[in-house]
Chains A and B, each alone.
Chain A
């Protein structure tokens, strides 16, 4: 199967190509949808096969597809090396899990979109599926890429598709702006990511994930000083923070809700935004050698989680609530990764993908039913009109609130447990977050489905068609069951996911052997696999020794579990009380703490103030240079802190006046010189004779006097 792993991204790509080249012009909606969905379905089947395969043998398989950048000699810290990149895919448990999530949820969302987007014009419909398929292709490339560069192709590719899909309704200025904002903020992160990649090459002499992990495993853990590995990891994290919307680069995600709802579900909840978490998991070995950076990641994650959750409490746009919720949950994942619980992070990634996709698609159904209305305050009482949606969304909300035995409970609990062992302060933050999560989630449910107000929609709301509800139901089932693969030992489970992911995450040393495709395994393969298993076990033991936290006492684990369930329930109850039983309470609270309310409503004013700050950040690195530049050109030191636009405009003017001015001044002086010379040409013979004599006397004078 591994040989055909390239078919995974290939099918969606082909679907995108067909729909893009021909569909926009010629295909009917049905054909377009069929092509898109079938391509995803095939990929899903392949991913399942791959997952099964990966489960069978806990080893990483690299598939060489073709040459890309041929080796170019370079001197690195490792001495002589060669910079090169091949089209290499890597299929290992982590990649398999990610591929399953992408294709699985991707397929469902495709299916959902066939109905959701039906009101679009035909060409636009095909364009949508073209982009969506392309996104899946790039996302699969991202998670399957065997080295940083291939991964980066997917990384940037999903950014592009995100840009295109956010701005899908490009005639809306806000949508186009949001798309651009997303891309550029991501680019800022990519700056760090790219530099991180280069630093990694410089340090390791290779960009292959396996090789990097192997090399990094031999470096000392940088506990005390902020060394080379830490720098690499920090830079990579900048990229991850951009993609996964963490402080300080999270501001694009709420705006990204301008895109169609399935896009929000797929890209901005389930898959693309988790790429940052994925990249930390993928380079777990590397990151584990930079504990200082891990600390930073944990802190950033926890703060992001809390901040986003608190903002979500007061948002009134249904999708924005979910967007802030996504940011918050991503923060939790980073927190997990930061405290060393990488498999917990990935576990939460998976469960979150299910329930958040479910919530988004549910909200899509609500919006669909409300004919495009997204304001929570104008909804209410939809329970009877949208029974399927209601039930599935409640399942999703319960999951995200951490109510057992739904998926979110297991994954979140694992994170809280691990965090508790590492750092109590972070645990407190995370716990508050989970309380707030339950609160805002059920606030959303209450606003949408309860209440006595008749919905202010022109037509009576109606349940979505089957193509939309079926994915909802499937996702709801998934939300219920997917958590079972991570039942902790405390509850008598096997924590299967952690075991499954271990080969991707544990410290490994690479042994590569080559195999020609289509030929039987060479002798010794089985032995090697067995050996690898054995070593994995040993690694795992070493891992446990390194992170003794995970061996928390049973009692503590139980207590924490109970506490977290309690927190979720409290949040739910509070939301119920505030928004269903006593709807006037929130208003009073808002009046009482108007300052806090305004702060939250305006997202801590970060968005307003941050617009300038982002701009400043964008050009922060350039500014110093540019100031020097100003000095160089006309000795003029510009004031500090002018906005970019003004800077750019002035730069333009300086170009016109300063640099050009020097050239024009040369021209001017030549013109003046010409004028002077011509003035001298009086036309009078005697003047000419005089000049001749003067020239002669000039010679003479210099000669006689200046010897």
Chain B
């Protein structure tokens, strides 16, 4: 226990991360070693290493332990998220394949960055120490800065990178300032120690300030209003597969971190303890309440009149973050499990939707304007159906996964007594259908403009979209497994103990 260094157990439980990192390094090598023609194989490396990591994660899915001297938890919660990240990364890789050929990026570099970002996310999901969380966050963020600007000659991509980088760094500073205050108040960076310290002592204003800074920093990463402003611009400018990954992976990772910090580190201040406002006790849930309402409303409102699908989806993802925050606000086991569940659902539908946008990218067609989608259903009926499913799911119409996710989020709000929040959420949800349905109208009702180049499917693309569509539909029709998984994972939050037995 007191020994410095690694134990066998540390290594074993870090294996998924290590495999992903190894894959990343291999890709760097491949970038140098492979000839230009065979660069496509890089994707296989990425897929294989992600697959291996996923297998390992599945194997250790029953674990509930902490390693690395209590800074790194391997519990249901972490594995749930890691599987989500790995899956998103794999889909991203599949989506990127042809996109890169069209845009002319270097696959090795690209996949390296994707895998590194994945590794960062995985660390974020496991970290139960502020430092570890910070490292994971930065690993991910730095990779995304580069990925956002990966299309170097493209001005939009460039600009997206600059914005993301500057604002990301800025928000990081806020987050770190909050962390430093938290550390100062409790004398520890370990979340549970923080919880213990705060449980005994009083809190005061400084803690409130720290919480606010944390909320702001994390709110930035999950793109919650009013800290969302970067998202539309960056999502629009970044390469589309990266946008998909950013909106799914990065958001989920930030949610994992948020859940870790607030539910493991500050559980006592959920509803009160941070003072009072207008005579009402103030806890961090209040901040997320505001964030949730603002995100839903602003995201949906702004998305209403967009004509660029990528940008529309960006705003939609802001709104979606608002929905997920409902689970955080509720703070009940049901709320947390609902948020987890919704993250998975969201991953499927959002990746799928962006996948279709990626598909529309052809020589000479940017593919991200609404009118580019016109007539899609008559050209590629299957893709049309898939897009229909994704849009319906995003809007929360059964029998898609989005419906189940939303029902559960609203349920958690009602259970916790947040009727007002629930009403705002359902009204927003109805409002959002307006623009989702507009996409459907373009796909299904509008005729294509003559003379547009044909839509060509690649095998990787088919796999990715089929996976996303199948997930969206299956989880909507028979979500039982996901429900149970999410409930178990939510329950495991904060339960992991230092391991015993041979792996020590």
Q: A residues touching B (Cβ–Cβ < 8 Å)?
A: 670-671, 673-678, 681, 683, 685, 687-689, 691-692, 694-696, 698-700, 702-704, 706-707
Contacts and interface: CB of A to CB of B under 8 A. Distances in A.
Given A699-B212, A699-B287, A703-B282, A671 B226 contact: no
Contacts of B290: 699
Contacts of A694: 226
B227 to A, nearest CB: 5
A30 to B, nearest CB: 60
Contacts of B345: none
A703 B305 CA distance: 35
Contact of B431 (A670, A698, A702, A706): A670
B170 interface: yes
B166 A707 contact: no
A704 B274 CA distance: 11
B232 A681 contact: yes
Interface residues of B, number: 39
B496 interface: no
A687 B229 contact: yes
A79 B467 CA distance: 66
**Across the A-B interface, the 7 shortest Cβ-Cβ residue pairs:** A695-B226, A688-B229, A674-B304, A677-B302, A674-B305, A673-B301, A674-B301
Contacts of A702: 277
Given A694-B226, A696-B216, A704-B205, 6 more contacts: A674-B305, A677-B302, A688-B230, A689-B166, A702-B277, A707-B276
Contacts of A692: 167, 170-171, 174, 216, 220, 226-227, 229
Contacts of B220: 692
B385 to A, nearest CB: 28
A683 B233 CA distance: 7
Interface of B: 162-163, 166-167, 170-171, 174, 205, 208-209, 212-213, 215-216, 219-220, 226-227, 229-230, 232-233, 274-278, 282, 287, 290, 298, 301-306, 431, 434
A685 B302 CA distance: 18
Contacts of B298: 677
Contacts of A689: 166-167, 170
A364 to B, nearest CB: 63
A703 B277 contact: yes
Contacts of B306: 678
Nearest to B226: A695
B209 to A, nearest CB: 7
B229 A678 contact: no
A706 B167 CA distance: 30
29 contacts: A675-B305, A676-B301, A677-B298, A681-B302, A683-B233, A685-B167, A687-B229, A688-B163, A688-B167, A688-B229, A689-B166, A692-B170, A692-B171, A692-B226, A692-B229, A695-B216, A695-B219, A695-B226, A696-B174, A696-B212, A696-B216, A698-B226, A699-B287, A699-B290, A700-B212, A703-B274, A707-B275, A707-B277, A707-B278
B208 A703 contact: yes
B294 to A, nearest CB: 8
A670 B304 contact: yes
Q: Is the interface of A mostly helix, strand, loop or mixed?
A: helix
A376 B275 CA distance: 101
A440 to B, nearest CB: 70
Given A691-B226, A706-B277, A696 B213 contact: yes
**Interface hub of A676, A683, A685, A702 (most chain B Cβ within 10 A):** A685
A673 B428 CA distance: 13
Contacts of A681: 229, 232-233, 302
Contacts of B219: 695
Contacts of B232: 681
B273 to A, nearest CB: 13
A691 B277 contact: no
A687 B278 CA distance: 30
Contacts of A706: 277-278
Contacts of B166: 685, 689
A684 to B, nearest CB: 9
Contact of B304 (A671, A698, A704): A671
Given A674-B304, A703-B277, A695 B227 contact: yes
Contacts of B174: 692, 696
A696 B214 CA distance: 10
Nearest to A692: B227
**Interface hub of A695, A696, A706, A707 (most chain B Cβ within 10 A):** A695
Contacts of A675: 305
Contacts of B274: 703
B301 A677 contact: yes
Contacts of B230: 688
A245 B274 CA distance: 83
A685 B162 contact: yes
A700 B209 contact: yes
A674 B319 CA distance: 13
Contacts of B212: 696, 699-700, 703
A613 B379 CA distance: 63
B438 to A, nearest CB: 12
Nearest to B163: A685
B304 to A, nearest CB: 4
A498 B434 CA distance: 77
Nearest to A673: B301
Contacts of A685: 162-163, 166-167
B455 to A, nearest CB: 30
A692 B434 CA distance: 28
A706 B229 CA distance: 27
B280 to A, nearest CB: 10
Contacts of B162: 685
Nearest to B230: A688
A695 B228 CA distance: 11
A706 B280 CA distance: 10
Contact of B302 (A678, A687, A700): A678
A246 to B, nearest CB: 56
Nearest to B219: A695
A691 B229 contact: yes
**Interface hub of B163, B205, B282, B302 (most chain A Cβ within 10 A):** B302
Contacts of B170: 689, 692
A702 B274 CA distance: 12
A678 B298 CA distance: 9
**Interface hub of A671, A674, A706 (most chain B Cβ within 10 A):** A674
Given A685-B162, A706-B277, A671 B305 contact: yes
Contact of B275 (A687, A696, A703): A703
A699 B212 CA distance: 7
A688 B306 CA distance: 19
Nearest to B215: A699
A329 to B, nearest CB: 66
B226 A678 contact: no
Contacts of B227: 691-692, 695
B162 to A, nearest CB: 7
Contacts of B208: 703
Contacts of B229: 681, 687-688, 691-692
A696 to B, nearest CB: 5
Contacts of A707: 275-278
A702 to B, nearest CB: 6
Nearest to A677: B302
A707 B208 CA distance: 13
**Interface hub of B171, B213, B227 (most chain A Cβ within 10 A):** B227
A469 B298 CA distance: 89
A681 to B, nearest CB: 6
Nearest to B434: A670
A706 B278 CA distance: 6
A689 B166 CA distance: 9
A341 to B, nearest CB: 69
Contacts of B215: 699
Contacts of B278: 706-707
A695 B224 CA distance: 11
Contacts of B302: 674, 677-678, 681
A673 B301 CA distance: 6
